[in-house]
């Protein structure tokens, strides 16, 4: 519970919280940005104890994937993982000769890696989504150029 600035605690607590949700909420979540509300509804005493002991009140899971699991449910988390995974696969597969596209793929991968120990960062999240858009646009542009060259030949 106490390792990683008590991230172990909040991760365990998030999983307990998820396990106590109704089936509909397990599938579709409780709603975006509701983690703090759920922690006090589920077991507010634990949050008060943590605040008293460590001066920390958890209004997020400090793990984007756990945060999404609780707030947007298994369906939302699965959609997010599949979407970001497919973007990375397309960038690596179709843009492997273009360093800019690969830079986008690595940037996206790094952002997702830090998501394991943090939530979305307001300053970096727009860059994350922009990297996906720029990378996909570059791949699409390359594919269009290849198609046009093959038509002319």
Structure tokens at 6: 């008590």
pLDDT category at 68 given cuts 50, 70, 90 is very high
Mean pLDDT of 36-56: 75
Residue 4 has pLDDT above 70, yes or no: no
Q: How many CA atoms lie within 13 A of 74 on its CB side?
A: 10
Mean pLDDT of 135-140: 93
Structure tokens at 130: 């922009």
Mean pLDDT of 53-79: 90
Q: How far apart are CA 94 and CA 143, in angstroms?
A: 8
Q: Is 36 strand, coil or helix?
A: helix
Residue 48 has pLDDT above 70, yes or no: yes
* Cα distances (angstroms) measured from residue 150 to each of 60, 63, 146, 153: 51, 46, 6, 5
Residue 42 has pLDDT above 80, yes or no: no
pLDDT tens for 10-38 read 898 899 999 999 999 999 999 988 888 88
Residue 96 has pLDDT above 90, yes or no: no
Q: How far apart are CA 100 and CA 87, in angstroms?
A: 15
The pTM for the full model equals: 0.85
pLDDT category at 109 given cuts 50, 70, 90 is very high
pLDDT category at 49 given cuts 50, 70, 90 is confident
pLDDT, position 2: 63
């Amino acid at each position: 519970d106490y390792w990683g600035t008590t991230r172990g605690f909040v991760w365990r607590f998030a999983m307990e919280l998820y396990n106590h949700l109704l089936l509909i909420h397990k599938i579709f979540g409780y709603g975006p940005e509701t983690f703090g509300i759920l922690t006090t509804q589920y077991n507010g005493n634990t949050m008060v104890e943590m605040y008293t002991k460590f001066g920390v009140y958890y209004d997020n899971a400090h793990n984007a994937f756990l945060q999404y699991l609780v707030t947007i449910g298994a369906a939302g988390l699965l959609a997010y993982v599949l979407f970001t995974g497919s973007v990375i696969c397309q960038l690596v597969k179709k843009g492997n000769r273009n360093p800019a596209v690969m830079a986008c793929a690595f940037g996206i991968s790094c952002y997702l890696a830090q998501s394991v120990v943090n939530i979305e960062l307001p300053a970096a999240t727009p860059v994350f989504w922009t990297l996906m858009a720029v990378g996909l646009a570059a791949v699409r542009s390359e594919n269009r150029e290849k198609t046009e060259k093959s038509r002319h030949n």
